Amino acid sequence: MGKMFDKRIFLTALAILGFATCISPVLAATAKPATWRQDSSSETCSISYNSPTQFLFLAARPDGSHILRLHASDWHFSNEGNASILIGSDLPSHAIQASFSARTTNGWEGVYLETDSSIVDRLRATDSLFVLVDGEKVEEFPLGQFSSQADEFQRCSAALPQRDAAEIPVSAPSLISKLGTLITGIQPPERTFRFRLKVDAEGSVSDCIVIETSGSAKLDKNYCRGLSRARFRPAVNRAGQPVSGQYQSSIGAQ
């Protein structure tokens, strides 16, 4: 008892997904009940559905545009074929053209759709949506609880400050190399630490924000100290110029 020894804390293999507001949605790493959640910052509002096999993520940008991302654990498209999303209809001819998304770090393939604020009312008006590849339905996503989340999401979106298009990132900051192991010297509680990093246009971390505590203020501080040493490729705007952005993920103990 009382003996102190190092615990090695590893970054869990969670989603690192780039999108306009530079926040990365976190996917389910273990079998947990399906959940809906909302997140917000000075640059974005987002709503997500997370189950052991599916991930839906909708985000609003400061310029009023929205992005919808959909991922599933058993997709094996290899970015081949034509992806589309069907909302509020059973007719494949009504599907909206989408694009294949990068895989998540836990291997989930996905699709995304760049759209506008009208997507919120379309999702609110239906119980599910379908992902199609080459006109064939490959996945149905339930939307039963989306309508109960939509009002708060729209209020958050309306309150986002307007920004010049040149300042708005269209990709997330990305790690130049893996963070590897963080040595904290503290026995970690069995709780996930969720964080958001502000990354400047030079790729340096300017701030570490705790979204969900590990349960220990000292451990949270040590996590942020280690994360702040990470180097990133900065986010870029539509012109391909580096701009400040945000990177969000989680750390779990193993």
Check whether 85 has a pLDDT greater than 90.
yes
Provide the edge-to-edge strand list for the sheet that holds 96-97: 96-97, 83-87, 128-133, 136-142
Q: Where are the alpha helices (DSSP H) in 4-126?
A: 118-124
Q: What are the residue ranges of CATH 3.30.2420 in the chain?
A: 8-14+172-253
CATH of domain 35-167: 2.60.40.1880
Specify the pLDDT at position 53.
Answer: 93
Higher pLDDT, 31 or 85: 85
Specify the pLDDT at position 167.
Answer: 75
CA 134, chain centre distance (Å): 26
Specify the pLDDT at position 193.
Answer: 83
Residue 36: which pLDDT band, with cuts at 50, 70 and 90?
A: very high
Specify the pLDDT at position 81.
Answer: 83
Q: Are 139 and 131 in contact (CB under 8 A)?
A: yes
Specify the pLDDT at position 143.
Answer: 94
Phi first, then psi, for residue 59 (nearest 5°) are: -130, 145
- Tokens representing residue 203 in the block: 């790729």
Specify the pLDDT at position 169.
Answer: 78
Q: Are 212 and 193 in contact (CB under 8 A)?
A: yes
Class of domain 8-14+172-253: alpha beta
d(CA 77, CA 73): 12
Mean pLDDT score of the chain, rounded to an integer? Answer: 79
Check whether 107 has a pLDDT greater than 70.
yes
* Closest listed residue to residue 58, CA positions, set 97, 23, 109: 23
Specify the pLDDT at position 178.
Answer: 65
Q: Are 237 and 14 in contact (CB under 8 A)?
A: no
Residue 160: which pLDDT band, with cuts at 50, 70 and 90?
A: confident
d(CA 135, CA 17): 26
Specify the pLDDT at position 10.
Answer: 35
Judged by DSSP in three states, 132 sits in strand
Check whether 62 has a pLDDT greater than 50.
yes
Check whether 126 has a pLDDT greater than 90.
yes
- Residue 77 CB neighbour total at 10 angstroms: 15
Specify the pLDDT at position 192.
Answer: 79
The DSSP symbol for 17 reads -
d(CA 5, CA 187): 8
pLDDT tens readout for residues 195-234: 889 999 999 999 998 888 888 888 888 889 888 888 899 9
Q: Are 62 and 90 in contact (CB under 8 A)?
A: no
Q: What are the residue ranges of CATH 2.60.40.1880 in the chain?
A: 35-167
Confirm whether pTM is higher than 0.85.
no
The DSSP symbol for 166 reads G
Phi first, then psi, for residue 217 (nearest 5°) are: -60, -35
